[in-house]
């Protein structure tokens, strides 16, 4: 997949199916949009291009809050998902006030047409331009709107998935995403308490602005050297030890290697329970033994 800044584009000659949208999380609803784009691209022998924003649109329009920077995936993972969904060319264009002021027809004429679209594919509710309208087919460019995908009588949406992650319902989020929600971080040093407890935990720091599941205990897989290893993880303040900083910690089962400095990817599979303030290490260990059985059996 070729990635470019739209504003630096010169002389793009490929004929395309152009897909428009932000696609936070590239969930199953988004995947349906790309499946349709691939179908059309194959029949008409076109390349698939995406014109998207680097950040979520509300950043340009609403009073700033740091939550607006939070996404379902890192920028790198988002690019990998575009590629996995068959995208040949990815173009980023910052959504500035100046750009947002153009009408939908100006947007098509002055921007989209630089990407030689024969067909434009969007989701069913996609509107664009300062006039906020659905694009309409013309003699030159056919517009295809992919119908909404539902699960449990409700639209699959990035907002719905974000809300599930925020309350720790990762298994349901995964079912809407069509893949496992993940977090990548660097393994750093903690308080060295894990090894005393009998469960050494790799402490992750996350540099990306992404949603972290709710405080609690989870069944996870970690990806290391291309292999999936089962483990369990805690997100929280280590209440038993009067912790003040929120940590994300993973114990990998049947594993005994140093991980410091590594980039570790954790796949959140299921929520086991909430965080508990135990009256001592012994009761914490007792509970963790039960958690381990649950995580292994998932």
Ligand X SMILES: Cc1cc2nc3c(=O)[nH]c(=O)nc-3n(C[C@H](O)[C@H](O)[C@H](O)COP(=O)(O)O)c2cc1C
Ligand Y SMILES: Nc1ncnc2c1ncn2[C@@H]1O[C@H](COP(=O)(O)OP(=O)(O)O)[C@@H](O)[C@H]1O
User: Is 200 one of the binding residues for ligand Y (CB under 6 A)?
Assistant: yes
Three-state DSSP class for 30?
A: helix
Residues 81 and 26 sit within 8 Å (Cβ to Cβ): yes
- The residue to which tokens 């194959």 are assigned: 42
Q: Which is nearer to ligand X, 118 or 193 (CB)?
A: 193
Structure token digits, residue 169: 């319902």
- Buried b / exposed e over 175-194, threshold 16 CB at 10 Å, is bbbbebbbbbbbbeebeeeb
- Letters for 180-219 (x = contact with ligand X by CB under 6 A, - = none) are ----------xxxxx--x-x-x-x-------------x--
- The closest alpha carbon to 278, from 290, 266, 268, 293, belongs to 290
Task: Report the nearest approach of ligand Y to the CB of residue 208 (Å).
Answer: 20
Three-state DSSP class for 67?
A: helix
User: Is 275 one of the binding residues for ligand X (CB under 6 A)?
Assistant: yes
Q: Which is nearer to ligand X, 124 or 278 (CB)?
A: 278
The set of residues, in sequence order, having a beta carbon less than 8 Å from that of 175 and lying 6+ positions away, is 151
User: Is 63 one of the binding residues for ligand Y (CB under 6 A)?
Assistant: no
User: Is 80 one of the binding residues for ligand X (CB under 6 A)?
Assistant: no
- Determine the residue with CB nearest ligand Y: 194
User: Is 202 one of the binding residues for ligand Y (CB under 6 A)?
Assistant: yes
Pick what 12 binds: ligand X, ligand Y, none; C-beta below 5 to 8 Å, kind-dependent: none
Q: Which is nearer to ligand X, 67 or 239 (CB)?
A: 239
Residues in contact with ligand Y by the rule CB under 6 A = 187, 189-195, 200-203, 251-252, 255-260
């Amino acid at each position: 997949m070729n990635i470019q800044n739209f504003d630096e584009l010169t002389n793009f000659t490929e004929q395309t199916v152009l897909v428009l949208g932000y696609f936070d999380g590239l969930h199953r609803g988004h995947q349906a949009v790309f499946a349709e784009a691939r179908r059309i691209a194959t029949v008409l022998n076109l390349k698939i291009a995406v014109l998207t924003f680097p950040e979520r649109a509300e950043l340009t329009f609403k009073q700033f809050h740091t939550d607006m920077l939070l996404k379902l995936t890192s920028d790198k993972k988002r690019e990998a998902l575009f590629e996995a969904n068959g995208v040949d060319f990815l173009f980023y264009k910052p959504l500035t006030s100046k750009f947002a002021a153009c009408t939908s027809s100006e947007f098509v004429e002055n921007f989209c047409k630089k990407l030689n679209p024969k067909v434009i594919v969007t989701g069913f509710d996609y509107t664009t331009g300062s006039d906020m309208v659905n694009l309409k087919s013309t003699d030159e460019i056919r517009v295809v709107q992919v119908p909404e995908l539902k699960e449990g009588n409700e639209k699959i949406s990035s907002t719905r998935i974000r809300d599930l992650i925020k309350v720790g319902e990762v298994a349901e989020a995964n079912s809407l995403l069509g893949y496992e929600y993940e977090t990548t971080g660097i393994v750093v040093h903690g308080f060295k308490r894990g090894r005393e407890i009998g469960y050494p935990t790799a402490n992750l720091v996350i540099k990306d602005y992404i949603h972290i599941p709710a405080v609690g205990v989870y069944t996870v897989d970690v990806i290391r050297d291309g292999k999936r290893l089962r483990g369990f993880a805690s997100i929280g303040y280590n209440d038993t030890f009067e912790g003040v900083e929120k940590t994300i910690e993973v114990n990998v089962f049947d594993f005994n290697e140093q991980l410091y400095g590594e980039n570790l990817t954790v796949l959140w599979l299921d929520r086991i329970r909430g965080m508990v303030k135990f009256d001592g290490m012994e009761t914490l260990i007792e509970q963790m033994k039960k958690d381990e059985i649950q995580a292994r059996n998932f």
